[in-house]
Structure formats: structure tokens, C-alpha cells
């Protein structure tokens, strides 16, 4: 399923009309389907520095059932993904090797292709020239994202020395259809104990996952994707949404828990429910969120307070309670918090909402070391324009502009946010911690 314009632009009649009028023709994105190959074609791997990760990358691709092309020939097989190992780059002069590898490879890239660059983190560089070369890759990747056509994406992963074993899960995610709407993103890995032997189609098998705000929209999509990936879902929402909450919980074979997450006793009730009914929890997705928009000068305290309470304070209080309750947050737990592009770019009329969503980004960064010490992780996703009931009610013009001003020229789907959250929830994503990943199709806002 894509939005109406994408469907229209890809129909026979729509193709003719959009061509003649010079209108954008957004691609139908390649999305994940369990059991399908990781990629619809081979991967080409190149390097621009010492090539420290080349062997690991080759192994990750072949272990996932992919094939690696030795090189891209002008008339040869087209790659579905282009991986550049730029580790070991020590100065800007070496970057021309990135250009020399990427240009011909990207020329041959298939539709919904992937460009993924791996590099050392600029913050770890021992000289300004090295830091400059590493940071240059950020500008390179973001620009490639804006040049790619046909639903292809470009992303960058910084891999510190010692974090090589954290690489498999992010590489699989960025190559797969799970990352369909993740574009122009930068993720920095950390060294971690990464469990092996995960079932690629059911990576959450045997796990208990709490999803707040699960009665509809993005939360319901998260519940479905988590259940598809093998988790038992505890779906949480306010009592007023009880009917649809029960429907979602039944559909995914999970449990419904009616709970207003801002209630004073909500953290204690959730902890007790998880302890009594499930013996603990492995994954917590803080998805529930509200908007109460007004220009700051017209905003009353009630609007400010309610948004802060649901979007930020409840996440802090519940997470603190889970950390404090002995034996409830299990070893290797994953907490994923839903932020927003508004928290990065700011948004007119949303000072309260943007402040709460920016707060999430600070919160996960600050909590990451404490989570790592428990072999757990905490991360955020920041959705851009996602096609939901909320956005369907926007005026036509605002909705159309809002959904097109990104490199993929279309709004994302709730499932795109859900897939990114489910990836962060995987046991294999142990080396992704304290990060905020935008699911925004490389939106121009806050880029
Ligand atoms: N839709 C978008 O384009 C978009 C963009 C960026 C971020 N987000 C964020 O994604 C999340 C989900 O958004 P959505 O579009 O699905 O929203 P939605 O309004 O469709 O769903 C939110 C759910 O949260 C529940 N909820 C609200 N207050 C609650 C409370 N006190 N206790 C328990 N549950 C509560 C609601 O009942 C509802 O079921 C939110 O955090 C939102 O801020 C959405």
C-alpha cells in the first residue's frame, strides 16, 4: 500500500499524465516481507581507506543469503546495493577513492537500491584532517540521498574500533525493505556483546513487548510488526480506546492493558502487570503521544502540560520504574521511544510538542550508558510525515506539500516506523544505543 498519488503516478494513465505535466513520480518502495531474500540483486563492496570492515561486510551479506559482485561492469549485472567501506581514511585526499567507486556503481543501481557507507566516527579522529575526511562522508551521503531516484536510499554508519561485531544487524536493516523510508541517516555504533543465532524471520520470538498507544495509528502497526516478528505484545492505551485496543490485541494474539500512562499509579501498575502476568519484559515501546497545537503566545498551561505529561514525563517515569523494579526489565532489554521530526526541526504552532519530542532525544542519549551497563539499549525513532488518521484530516494543500518535501517524494506508512522500531528491538541490535533514527524519507525539514 502506498499513498493515493504514488499509486496514481505509477498507473498507466498516471505515468503519462505525470510525464507530460512534469510532476514528480514517487516510486513504490520495496518493503520487507518475511521469507523474501534480503535484496532483489547482488551487492557490490568497495573501499576508500584501509578496508578494515570489508571482510566482515562480505560475511554479513553472504550469511544473510546475499551475493557479492566483485565489481560493477558498465554492461554487467546491476547491483541492488552499494557498500562503501571508508574506514581508515586519514585525509580529504583519500576521498576521491569514494567518488571513483561510488559513481559507476550508483549509475547501475537498481530501483529501491541501497547505498550504505561505513566509516570511523569523526569524534574518535586523532587529527583535524582525519576528522574532516570522516565528517565529509556525512555530507557526501546526505547529498547522494538527494540525488538517488526510484526509491533508493543512502545512509551512513559510523563504526568505532572494537564495534565490528555490532555491524550485522544495522547492515541487514539498511539493505532490507525494513528501512524503506529511512534515508539520509547517520547511526553511530558502539561495542557490545551481540548474541548470535537469531532467526532472521522471527527475531523477537519468545520476547514480551509493551507498546503504548497501541489502539490505532502507528502504535497498532508496531503491535502487528512486533507480533509478526515473534513477540507477545502487551498493548496499552487509555480506557476510552478500550474497544479498538482489544481488537488490536486480539488480532496480534497479545494482551490488552487499559492504562492512562500519565496517571500517578501508571508506572507501578504497568510494572505489576508485567511481573504478575509475564514474569518481566524484554521490549518497551513508548509510542503514545498527543498534540495540542497553538502558537506559543496563545498557548494555555493546560495544552503545555498535557503534551509534556504524555509525550515526555510518562516515558521518563515508566522507564525509571522499570529500571528500579528488580528483575522486571530483563537482561538485554530494548527500550524504543517515539520522538518526531518536529523535535529536530521545530514546527510552527508546536512549541509544546517539539519541546517534548526534542526532550526524548536528550533522554535516550543520557540514559544510554546506564542501559549499556545492563546489556540493554535505549533509542528513539523520529518519524517525519507519516500517513495516518491524524495526517488524513489535514487540509489537502498542507498534506500534499508536507508529504512530498522529502527525497522519496511521498509520506511514510505506519509500518515504516514500526519496522525501524522492531529492528532496534532485535537482540542483534545490541550495538545501537542512545541513537535517534529518523524515519522521514530524508525530509528537507530539519535535515
Ligand atoms: N503521524 C505522524 O505523522 C507522526 C509524526 C511524528 C511523530 N509521531 C508520533 O508517533 C506516535 C504515534 O502517533 P499516531 O499518529 O499513531 O497518533 P494517534 O493519535 O493515531 O495514536 C496515539 C495513541 O496514543 C494513545 N494515547 C494518548 N494519550 C495516552 C495516554 N495518556 N495513555 C495511553 N495512551 C495514550 C491514543 O489513545 C492513541 O491510541 C506519537 O508519539 C506521535 O507523536 C507521529
CATH number at residue 183: 3.40.50.720
Q: What's the average model confidence in pLDDT over 324-331?
A: 96
Q: In angstroms, how far is CA 23 from the centroid of its own chain? A: 29
User: CA-to-CA distance for 212 and 274, rounded, in angstroms?
Assistant: 13
Q: In the chain, how many domains are there?
A: 3
Burial readout 312-347 (b: 16 or more C-beta within 10 A, e: otherwise): bbbbbbbbebbbebeebbbebbbbbbbbbbbbbbbb
**Residue 425 in domain:** yes
Query: Is residue 391 lining ligand 1, measured as CB closer than 6 Å?
Result: yes
- The reply to whether 389 and 244 lie within a common domain is yes
Residue 1 banded pLDDT, cuts 50, 70, 90: low
User: CA-to-CA distance for 215 and 329, rounded, in angstroms?
Assistant: 23
How many angstroms is it from 299 CA to the middle of ligand 1?
20
User: CA-to-CA distance for 28 and 51, rounded, in angstroms?
Assistant: 34
CB 82 within 8 A of CB 41: no
Instruction: Quote the percentage of the chain above a pLDDT of 70.
Output: 98
- The reply to whether 238 and 375 lie within a common domain is yes
Is residue 51's pLDDT more than 60? yes
Q: What's the average model confidence in pLDDT over 435-447?
A: 93
Instruction: Among 188, 223, 250, identify where a domain stops.
Output: 188
**Residue 199 in domain:** no
Q: What's the average model confidence in pLDDT over 141-158?
A: 98
User: CA-to-CA distance for 443 and 405, rounded, in angstroms?
Assistant: 6
- The reply to whether 133 and 63 lie within a common domain is yes
**Residue 202 in domain:** no
Query: Is residue 310 lining ligand 1, measured as CB closer than 6 Å?
Result: yes
Q: What is the pLDDT of residue 11?
A: 76
Residue whose CA lies nearest to ligand 1 atom number 36: 213
Query: Is residue 241 lining ligand 1, measured as CB closer than 6 Å?
Result: yes
How many angstroms is it from 310 CA to the middle of ligand 1?
9
Instruction: Quote the percentage of the chain above a pLDDT of 90.
Output: 88
Our mutation pick for probing the ligand 1 site, out of 210, 213, 381, counting the most ligand atoms within 8 A of Cβ, is: 213
Residue whose CA lies nearest to ligand 1 atom number 23: 213
- The reply to whether 151 and 235 lie within a common domain is no
- The reply to whether 120 and 175 lie within a common domain is yes
Q: What is the pLDDT of residue 295?
A: 97
- The reply to whether 9 and 63 lie within a common domain is no
Query: Of 33-37, 91-95, 197-201, which gets the smallest average pLDDT?
Result: 197-201
Residue whose CA lies nearest to ligand 1 atom number 3: 386
Instruction: Among 143, 160, 188, identify where a domain stops.
Output: 188
Q: What is the pLDDT of residue 20?
A: 72
Query: Is residue 340 lining ligand 1, measured as CB closer than 6 Å?
Result: yes
Our mutation pick for probing the ligand 1 site, out of 214, 215, 217, 222, counting the most ligand atoms within 8 A of Cβ, is: 217
Long-range pairs of 257-264 with CB within 8 A, sequence gap ≥ 24: 261/212, 261/236, 261/288, 261/310, 261/314, 261/318, 262/306, 262/309, 262/310, 262/313, 262/314
Would you name the residues annotated as active-site residues?
353
Query: Is residue 261 lining ligand 1, measured as CB closer than 6 Å?
Result: yes
How many angstroms is it from 257 CA to the middle of ligand 1?
16
Q: List CB contacts of 271: < 8 A, sequence separation 6 or more.
A: 321, 322, 325, 328
Residue 17 banded pLDDT, cuts 50, 70, 90: low
Q: What is the pLDDT of residue 64?
A: 94
User: CA-to-CA distance for 432 and 186, rounded, in angstroms?
Assistant: 12
Residue 261 alpha carbon, nearest atom of ligand 1: 32
- The reply to whether 4 and 69 lie within a common domain is no
Q: What is the pLDDT of residue 42?
A: 97
User: CA-to-CA distance for 92 and 133, rounded, in angstroms?
Assistant: 5
Instruction: Among 157, 188, 219, identify where a domain stops.
Output: 188
Backbone angles phi, psi at 191, to 5 degrees: -70, 135
- The reply to whether 20 and 35 lie within a common domain is no
**Residue 446 in domain:** no
Q: What's the average model confidence in pLDDT over 72-84?
A: 94
Q: What's the average model confidence in pLDDT over 352-371?
A: 98
Query: Is residue 389 lining ligand 1, measured as CB closer than 6 Å?
Result: yes
Residue 262 alpha carbon, nearest atom of ligand 1: 31
Query: Is residue 213 lining ligand 1, measured as CB closer than 6 Å?
Result: yes
- The reply to whether 58 and 180 lie within a common domain is yes
**Residue 134 in domain:** yes
Query: Is residue 339 lining ligand 1, measured as CB closer than 6 Å?
Result: no
Residue 260 alpha carbon, nearest atom of ligand 1: 32
- The reply to whether 169 and 212 lie within a common domain is no
pLDDT, the chain, mean: 95
How many angstroms is it from 390 CA to the middle of ligand 1?
9
**Residue 447 in domain:** no
Q: What domain range includes position 21?
A: 1-27
Q: What is the pLDDT of residue 176?
A: 97
Query: Is residue 216 lining ligand 1, measured as CB closer than 6 Å?
Result: yes
**Residue 101 in domain:** yes
Q: What is the pLDDT of residue 400?
A: 85
Q: In angstroms, how far is CA 366 from the centroid of its own chain? A: 19
Is residue 209's pLDDT more than 80? yes
**Residue 402 in domain:** yes
Consecutive H or E run containing 30:
none
The residue that leads in pLDDT, 20 or 137, is 137
Alpha helices per DSSP H over 31-187: 54-63, 96-107, 128-147, 168-175
- The reply to whether 15 and 89 lie within a common domain is no
Our mutation pick for probing the ligand 1 site, out of 257, 260, 265, 288, counting the most ligand atoms within 8 A of Cβ, is: 288
Is residue 200's pLDDT more than 90? no
Is residue 204's pLDDT more than 80? yes
- The reply to whether 105 and 78 lie within a common domain is yes
Is residue 226's pLDDT more than 90? yes
Residue 427 banded pLDDT, cuts 50, 70, 90: very high
**Residue pLDDT, tens place only, 247-302:** 999 999 999 999 999 999 999 999 999 999 999 999 999 999 999 999 999 999 99
Is residue 2's pLDDT more than 70? no
Amino acid at each position: 500500500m502506498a499513498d493515493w498519488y504514488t499509486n496514481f503516478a505509477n498507473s498507466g494513465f498516471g505515468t503519462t499524465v505525470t510525464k507530460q505535466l512534469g510532476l514528480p513520480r514517487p516510486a513504490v518502495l520495496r518493503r520487507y516481507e518475511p521469507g523474501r531474500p534480503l535484496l532483489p540483486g547482488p551487492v557490490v563492496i568497495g573501499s576508500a581507506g584501509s578496508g578494515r570492515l570489508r571482510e566482515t561486510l562480505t560475511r554479513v551479506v553472504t550469511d544473510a543469503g546475499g551475493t557479492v559482485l566483485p565489481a560493477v561492469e558498465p554492461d554487467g549485472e546491476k547491483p541492488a546495493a552499494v557498500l562503501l567501506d571508508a574506514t581508515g581514511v586519514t585525509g580529504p585526499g583519500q576521498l576521491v577513492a569514494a567518488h571513483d567507486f561510488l559513481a559507476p556503481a550508483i549509475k547501475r543501481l537498481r530501483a529501491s537500491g541501497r547505498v550504505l557507507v561505513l566509516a570511523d566516527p569523526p569524534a574518535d579522529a586523532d587529527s583535524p584532517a582525519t576528522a574532516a575526511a570522516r565528517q565529509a562522508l556525512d555530507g557526501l551521503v546526505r547529498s547522494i540521498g538527494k540525488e538517488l531516484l526510484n526509491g533508493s536510499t543512502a545512509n551512513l554508519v559510523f563504526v568505532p574500533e572494537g564495534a565490528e561485531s555490532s555491524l550485522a544487524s544495522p547492515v541487514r536493516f539498511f539493505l532490507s525493505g525494513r528501512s524503506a523510508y529511512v534515508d539520509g541517516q547517520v547511526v553511530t555504533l558502539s561495542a557490545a556483546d551481540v548474541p548470535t543465532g537469531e532467526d532472521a524471520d522471527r527475531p523477537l520470538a519468545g520476547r514480551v513487548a509493551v507498546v503504548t498507544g497501541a489502539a490505532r495509528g502507528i502504535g497498532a502497526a508496531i503491535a502487528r510488526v512486533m507480533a509478526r516478528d515473534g513477540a507477545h505484545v502487551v498493548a496499552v492505551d487509555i480506557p476510552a480506546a478500550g474497544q479498538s485496543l482489544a481488537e488490536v490485541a486480539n488480532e496480534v494474539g497479545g494482551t490488552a492493558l487499559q492504562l492512562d500512562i500519565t496517571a500517578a499509579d501508571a508506572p507501578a501498575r504497568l510494572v505489576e502487570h508485567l511481573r504478575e502476568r509475564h514474569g518481566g519484559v524484554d521490549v518497551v515501546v513508548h509510542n503514545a503521544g498527543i498534540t495540542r497545537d497553538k502558537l506559543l503566545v496563545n498557548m494555555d498551561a493546560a495544552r503545555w502540560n498535557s503534551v509534556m505529561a504524555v509525550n515526555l514525563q510518562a516515558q521518563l517515569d515508566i522507564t525509571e520504574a522499570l529500571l528500579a523494579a528488580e528483575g522486571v526489565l530483563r537482561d538485554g532489554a530494548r527500550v524504543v521511544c517515539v520522538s518526531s521530526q518536529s523535535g529536530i526541526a521545530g514546527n510552527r504552532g508546536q512549541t509544546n510538542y517539539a519541546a517534548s519530542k526534542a526532550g526524548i532525544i536528550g533522554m535516550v542519549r543520557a540514559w544510554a550508558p546506564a542501559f549499556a551497563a545492563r546489556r540493554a539499549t535505549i533509542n528513539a525513532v523520529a518519524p517525519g510525515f507519516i500517513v495516518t488518521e491524524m495526517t488524513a484530516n489535514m487540509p489537502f494543500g498542507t498534506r500534499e506539500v508536507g508529504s512530498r518535501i522529502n527525497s522519496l517524494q511521498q509520506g511514510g506508512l505506519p509500518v515504516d516506523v514500526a519496522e525501524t522500531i522492531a529492528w532496534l528491538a532485535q537482540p542483534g541490535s545490541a550495538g545501537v544505543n542512545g541513537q535517534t533514527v529518523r524515519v522521514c524519507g530524508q525530509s528537507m525539514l530539519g535535515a
